[in-house]
Structure 1
């Protein structure tokens, strides 16, 4: 059975954070020696399976348990002053653990890129906070080298989203996604957050909550790309579709929609749908199908242009909630699909390439590399590389 080196200090940290009773942990199958691991002074050797089982019991990530250095325990600046509707919001452990995992990846990638001689990413903070929505929309297209019709009619919402994700990755933005914390069955709540941006001048990172629809994820990714361009970190907890919030957020939301379809083209297209006999609800859904953002997003856009009323918005909100409930139901029934493809979808291609380079050059151990990738075996590593086209 494959084995890993783990560090007692790391195990003690994970136990303390989880507020776990070592004796209770030891009663789980295969973990009877856990109290002895905590008392050890030198690194110990533990099987992959036992580390995996321990991560489940402690509700922490597999990668966190195989770290050779303890993470920074200070409260992350991303959540320190977070408010929603002027109310202070207490972040969930799932959100905090996800941010911590992404910070660890970002910090490692930053150091690695600097050692490789790469300087600052020119996109970070390249746009003024006073930019108009038109300017921000154009900045998105320029940064990712997209033409004005990039979102139109791909025929597959997954293909459209992945196209944007790979363009962002090619521009030096690390794009990660997941529906849960690591490999654990701790789902991420889209009511709490849909995405977040960890802004860094060398290794900017965007995380997308995979429990959202493709239309929602497309909006979130575009929204967070703008935050990188502005140099502003953010946790995005809105569908991008409510009138409340800071003016800059409303400006960003308008920019996102304009980067997909200009005001002029939208107005023409909307009237064409109605002239063809479609209801306003049907028109919003038809444009959504063609351009990838949600029907609600386009309904609100029509309302802002005095082309629709609030009744349509309420209909579209109800429709979105029904769609999300149906998606959640399907997710719960899902067996998980192809493990290698799932791992590949969660990880930024450039990041995987960077880890692969570190392992092959000898600057990164397999244990630390597997921890960064949150995988548990050489077989999973080879499968990940193959799925990413890096094998």
Structure 2
């Protein structure tokens, strides 16, 4: 019996291979893909199973490989930066799929809000990067009802959720995940991005890469909310490098405001002078613990206020990154534990879920669409709904 083979456009398939993180030399090591070079020069056509295997390997939707033209994936976040703020020309499929997933959620939310008579949020794009950093931080605090000493109202473990609730209450969607949708075989790479913001007048969205540390996520949250007040989409990835390292003035501004939101300069100076030790490392560690933020945030503040020099800052940064990598490796080795339901709930903006549940009950959204938006199934959805609605 003859094996059915599929006609492909080699230029399209080549494009998706080249934009993946996998070399052809590596692909041919897979027995099903050993003739891939012949596919591309049209000597042999691939079978359905072979093309499906390629789709899985390079993390591209199977249907894309059947098209005569490359599927347009133009989105407003192609402003990729590495740790040192250098441009990245080849975003991963994991990142692109995550952005697309969040855009679908945001689009649903915008449609819901408009249908139900909600108004545009007045603070979107209400500030500019040439304004005073402390004044912008004060405006954001007032708008989001966040006290200057917000860290006194939560513990280290609850700080992110404390701030998240403030954001959600004011209409900012906050989603987080450490994998693509619900696929645990596709972890998100913290070296590629820490967070991103999708600006919209009705439903601005912040996505947090949950593989980051607790206090790293807090800085990312503050950084992205500044972009929302600027009215600019953003893809964020850095490790609190001091401003001389940056080429992008907007990022300098956003990091400065985010730092001010973490702890105001006035309060930082007061804390610094009140800690009775001459050891600068101990001072920074104590302030970081009290303010529920990374010691890197405090080190940048100390550097900018001339309490430490650059050599000390970079030594602290080096040690912090080393510690973070060790903790991340421990987490990776222990994957499989934890509460799956709590993890699923932590990914979802609570206000989004309440509106989605309400829309289902009124017959405007089907369960199948809700399952797709939440990347879940009926059984898990019912458990999520019960736990969220019961508070």
Tell me whether the two structures share a fold, i.e. TM-score over 0.5. Answer: yes
- SS class of match (1:337): coil
The 5-angstrom pairing of residues 121-270 of structure 1 reads 121-152=121-152, 154=154, 156-184=155-183, 185-243=185-243, 244-270=246-272
CA contact (8 A) 1:153 1:291 kept: no
CA distance in 2 between partners of 1:288 and 1:182 (Å): 32
CA distance in 2 between partners of 1:298 and 1:322 (Å): 17
CA distance in 2 between partners of 1:326 and 1:86 (Å): 25
- SS class of match (1:302): helix
Structure 1: unaligned runs, 5 residues or longer:
1-15, 26-33, 39-54, 65-71
Q: Give how far 1:330 is off.
A: 2.6
Q: Give how far 1:253 is off.
A: 1.6
Segments of 4+ moved more than 6 angstroms: 16-20, 55-58
Q: Give how far 1:170 is off.
A: 0.6
CA distance in 2 between partners of 1:83 and 1:322 (Å): 21
Q: Quick one: higher RCO (CA 8 Å, sep 6+), 1 or 2?
A: 1
- SS class of match (1:206): strand
- SS class of match (1:142): helix
- SS class of match (1:151): helix
- SS class of match (1:74): coil
CA distance in 2 between partners of 1:330 and 1:236 (Å): 25
Structure 1 residues 262 and 231, CA gap change in structure 2 (3 angstroms): same
CA distance in 2 between partners of 1:201 and 1:215 (Å): 28
**Mean CA deviation greater in 173-182 or 304-313:** 304-313
User: Who is 2:327 aligned against?
Assistant: 327
CA distance in 1 between partners of 2:356 and 2:91 (Å): 30
Structure 1 residues 265 and 83, CA gap change in structure 2 (3 angstroms): closer
Q: Provide TM-score, normalisation by structure 1.
A: 0.79
The 5-angstrom pairing of residues 80-91 of structure 1 reads 81-82=79-80, 85=85, 87-91=87-91
Number of corresponding residues: 340
CA distance in 2 between partners of 1:86 and 1:18 (Å): 23
Q: Give how far 1:329 is off.
A: 1.7
Structure 1 residues 144 and 197, CA gap change in structure 2 (3 angstroms): same
Structure 1 residues 321 and 97, CA gap change in structure 2 (3 angstroms): same
User: Who is 2:290 aligned against?
Assistant: 290
CA distance in 2 between partners of 1:106 and 1:187 (Å): 22
User: Who is 1:338 aligned against?
Assistant: 339
Q: Provide TM-score, normalisation by structure 2.
A: 0.79
CA distance in 2 between partners of 1:299 and 1:350 (Å): 35
CA distance in 2 between partners of 1:239 and 1:122 (Å): 31
CA contact (8 A) 1:82 1:88 kept: yes
CA distance in 1 between partners of 2:91 and 2:291 (Å): 33
Q: Give how far 1:60 is off.
A: 7.1
Q: Give how far 1:24 is off.
A: 6.3
